[in-house]
Amino acid sequence: MPQNELLLPAVVFVPFAAAALALWLGKFAGPRTGGLMVLAAAGSFLGCLHLASAGAPVVFAREWIPGLLVSLSFRGDSFGLFFALLISGIGTLVGIYALGYMPALPPRRLGQFYAALLAFMGAMLGVALSDDLIILFVFWEATSVTSFILIGFWYEQEEGRKGAWTALQVTAIGGMVMLAGFILIGLTCGTYSLQQLTQSRELQARLAESSAFAPALLLVFAGALTKSAQWPFHFWLPRAMVAPTPVSTYLHAATMVKAGIFLLGRMLPLFGGGGLWTAILLPVGLVTFLLGA
């Protein structure tokens, strides 16, 4: 099991290491830098596949800021690994597609493109596999920053700059609002561990009986809705479609907009799916559905 334990953070950080390498390699390799993305994404996919075959959740946990109850912890359970397999698997296919799609840009620009795409992949994997709410927030905001770079890749075009800026404003502010909800949860329950929060009936009851329950739920919901472009925060998504096709395919159709739904799935055991949960989720989902029809 120790090997599996170390494999868990490796799955997350390999794309970040490949992103740093792509920035340097892009100056010399040009279009061939895309091969690095394919290899890194495929490596993360195979790593997730191996972890999924372990048959039991794999946990990696190291103390980081004990005074603030924050630990560098990842958990590979079936829900998180399913999402991680989607991220890395689709990332592999997008990397292969981008090899033939991206125009003959200067090598340095191609290196920047693949580096940003790899960093986004690593951030999404971090969201899927984090077991600490504060660590999840760090990766959550990293997806906002990297998506800003990718959406605004054609920065020469005013439409691209505006679309990227709108997406960053909505998703990053939503993330900060979500952080406030996480802090309320941590202060009330005495832990930021998702495993403890979602499996301990005692902690769930403590939160449910506290005055922090409704504010925490509303704040976390706001973060999820902004990231997933649900009403009334849906306006940033059409403006972000000015990005290169591989970016729109990966971020807006396959992974990033699913992060909010993933977060709600993670938090469902904690918030219990009660009256307030349903009262928010159903109307928002219905209005978004009607607007998109």
Q: Which of 114, 86, 83 is nearest to 244 (CA)?
A: 114
In a domain, 190, yes or no: yes
Residues 100 and 162 in one domain: no
CATH code for position 112: 1.20.120
Average pLDDT over residues 270-276: 78
Q: Which of 72, 2, 20, 76 is nearest to 44 (CA)?
A: 76
Average pLDDT over residues 120-137: 95
| pLDDT-derived band at 293, boundaries 50, 70, 90 | low
In a domain, 149, yes or no: no
| pLDDT-derived band at 283, boundaries 50, 70, 90 | confident
Residues 238 and 193 in one domain: yes
Residues 176 and 87 in one domain: no
In a domain, 148, yes or no: no
Residues 231 and 115 in one domain: no
Residues 108 and 216 in one domain: no
Task: List b or e across 40-74, with b for residues whose CB sees 16 or more CB atoms inside 10 angstroms.
Answer: bbbbbbebbeebbeeeebbbbbeeeeeeebbbbbb
**CA distances (Å), origin 68, targets 64, 133, 189:** 9, 12, 13
Residues 127 and 256 in one domain: no
pLDDT, averaged across the chain: 88
Last residue of a domain, one of 131, 162, 179: 131
Q: How many domains does the chain have?
A: 2
Last residue of a domain, one of 98, 131, 164: 131
Amino acid at 129: L
Per residue in 205-240, pLDDT tens?
Answer: 899 889 999 999 999 999 999 988 788 888 888 888
In a domain, 33, yes or no: yes
In a domain, 137, yes or no: no
In a domain, 19, yes or no: yes
Residues 235 and 292 in one domain: yes
In a domain, 240, yes or no: yes
Residues 159 and 95 in one domain: no
Given a cut of 80, whether residue 1 has pLDDT beyond it is: no
Handedness of CA 184, 141, 264, 233 (dihedral sign): positive
Per residue in 166-186, pLDDT tens?
Answer: 999 999 999 999 999 999 999
Residues 55 and 162 in one domain: no
In a domain, 140, yes or no: no
CA torsion angle for 226, 230, 232, 236 (degrees, to 10)?
A: 60
3-state SS assignment for residue 152: coil
* pTM of the full structure: 0.93
Residues 178 and 262 in one domain: yes
Residues 167 and 287 in one domain: yes
Per residue in 44-64, pLDDT tens?
Answer: 999 999 999 887 788 888 888
Give me the domain span that covers residue 62: 1-131
Q: What is the pLDDT of residue 38?
A: 92
**Residues whose CB falls within 8 Å of the CB of residue 246, separated by 6 or more in sequence, listed in order:** 94, 97, 98, 101, 102, 117
Last residue of a domain, one of 71, 97, 131: 131
Tokens of 151: 């959406």
Residues 68 and 166 in one domain: no
Higher pLDDT, 24 or 88: 88
| pLDDT-derived band at 2, boundaries 50, 70, 90 | low
